[in-house]
Structure 1
């Protein structure tokens, strides 16, 4: 089994690659390095409380 490569060294990092305290800090970091960027807000899933009996 071999390995594959891409032109982007950060392609395997995915969504969990970088984490910042604020949107401004993320933008400043990307601009400082000359990178194109997309800022994604952290998504917290909504959990519905269910009882065991709901399975039947």
Structure 2
């Protein structure tokens, strides 16, 4: 399960494994294809190679 912001319905929803339609490994990371709750086909990049913007907080 993961959270995703859909580009079609403009909502952030939890995506369950039953909604995943494919996973593909490549040099950028793992591309996960899935169907949003609204019915739109979506993809997200994850894995070690994926670049995710994260806020850094100085302690």
TM-score range, shorter chain: under 0.3
The TM-score, its normalising length taken from structure 2, stands at 0.22
The TM-score, its normalising length taken from structure 1, stands at 0.23
Q: Which has the higher strand share?
A: 2
Q: Which has the higher relative contact order, 1 or 2, with Cα contacts under 8 A spaced 6 or more apart?
A: 2
Q: Which has the higher helix share?
A: 1
